[in-house]
Amino acid sequence: MPELPELETTVQELRDKIVGRKILRVWTDFGKMFRPSFAEFQKVVVGQVIKDVSRRGKNIIIKLDSGHYILVHQKLTGSLLAGAEIKNPYLHLILFLDKGQLALSDLRKFAKVVFLENLEDYPDYKNLGVEPLSREFTLEKFQEILRQTRGKTKKVLMDQNKIAGIGNIYSDEILFEAKISPLCEVKNLKEKEIKILYQAIKKILKKAVVAKGTSVSDYRRPSGKKGNFAKFLKVYQRENESCPRCGAKIKRLKFGGRSAHFCPRCQK
C-alpha cells in the first residue's frame, strides 16, 4: 500500500499537472469504488476546476472550485497517473481535463473515491493522527503518544489514529534505523530509545520523499515512473538476506495480520 512518501510524491507531481485544469467529463468501469455513488460524483465534478491537491495520512485530497473535495485512498495497488493520454490495463477512473487526463490505476480494485462537502465530517479523515513530517510532530508530542498507548512498536507506528501515513515498509525501515525490535512493547522503551526512534521516523520518511517513494510492487508516480527508495531498503522484503549492519540473517515474522522484517541481532 502506498504510504506517506509515495503519497507526498504524488501530491507534488499532480500539483504541477492538474491544478487549474477543468474537468470536462469522467469515466469509470467500476462504480463500486465511489462514495456515495458514481452518478453523484459525475453530476457534481463535471465542469469544476481543480484548485489544489493535498495529502492527509494515506489520502489524496483534490479540492474543487466549488469548495467540495474528492478524496482518493489508493489502498493496496492504486496509483494516480496524469498525462496527455494515459494507457494502462488497470484504469478504473479517468477524469478528462481541458488539458490532459487524471486517471486511477488499480490492479486489485480496492481503491476508494469519496466525494465530500466537508472533510471534517468524514471519519477516515478527522480521526487521523499527527502528521510525522509536520511541525506538530515534536519529540514531546511523540512521547505523549507513547505514554497513552500500549502495544508493540511496529503496531503503534502503523496506527493511523496515532501517527498518520506510516505503513509496513517504513515502519520496518524506521525500526531498523533505530535498532529497536518491532516486537518491543512501547511501555518498555527508554527515554533515549524514544528520542532515537523519533529521529529515525523523521530521517527515513524525509529520505524516502526525496527518493520519490518505494516501488516494490504496483506503486507508480503520476508520470508512470517508479520511485527510487527501493535501493535504500535495509530490511523490508529482505528475509534471509544478510543484515547490512552486522551480517546476521534478516527475519520475517507475522503478527496481528502484519509482517515485520528485522535483524534479530541488531534490533533489541
Q: What is the CATH number of the domain that holds 207?
A: 1.10.8.50
In a domain, 154, yes or no: yes
In terms of domains, do 97 and 144 share one? Answer: no
Same domain, 12 and 122: yes
Q: Are residues 118 and 17 in the same domain?
A: yes
pLDDT on residue 258: 81
Question: What is the per-residue pLDDT for 218?
Answer: 83
Query: In 10 A of CB 169, how many CB atoms?
Result: 28
Range of the domain at 56: 4-126
pLDDT at 1 (0 to 100): 82
Structural domain includes residue 134: no
In a domain, 253, yes or no: yes
In a domain, 132, yes or no: no
CA dist list (Å): 9 to 140, 165, 221, 239, 247: 28, 13, 7, 27, 33
Is 268 part of any domain?
Answer: no
Query: Are 201 and 116 contained in the same domain?
Result: no
- Per-residue pLDDT at 256: 74
Number of folded domains that form the chain: 2
First to last CA, the chain: 27
Distance CA 28, CA 197 (A): 43
Residue 241 within a domain:
yes
Residues 239 and 182 in one domain: yes
End position of a domain, from candidates 126, 148, 179: 126
Shared domain check, 60 and 106: yes
Query: What is the predicted pLDDT for the residue at 91?
Result: 97
C-alpha–C-alpha distance, residues 84 and 105, integer Å: 15
Q: Is the dihedral of CA 70, 71, 73, 79 positive or negative?
A: positive
Q: Quick check: is 157 in a domain?
A: yes
**pTM of this prediction?**
0.96
Instruction: Name the β-bridge partners of 104.
Output: 80, 93
Boundary of a domain, candidates 77, 93, 126: 126
Judge if 161 and 118 occupy the same domain: no
Same-domain status, 85 and 45: yes
Active site residues: 2-3, 58, 258
Same domain as 162, residue 106: no
Q: Please report, in tens digits, the pLDDT of each residue of the chain (268 residues total).
A: 899 999 999 999 999 999 999 999 999 999 999 999 999 999 999 999 999 999 999 999 999 999 999 999 999 999 999 999 998 999 999 999 999 999 999 999 999 999 999 998 899 899 999 999 999 999 999 999 999 999 999 999 999 999 999 999 999 999 999 999 999 999 999 999 999 999 999 999 999 999 999 998 789 999 999 999 999 999 999 999 999 999 999 999 997 778 999 999 999 8
Same domain, 148 and 116: no
pLDDT value of residue 257: 79
Q: Quick check: is 40 in a domain?
A: yes
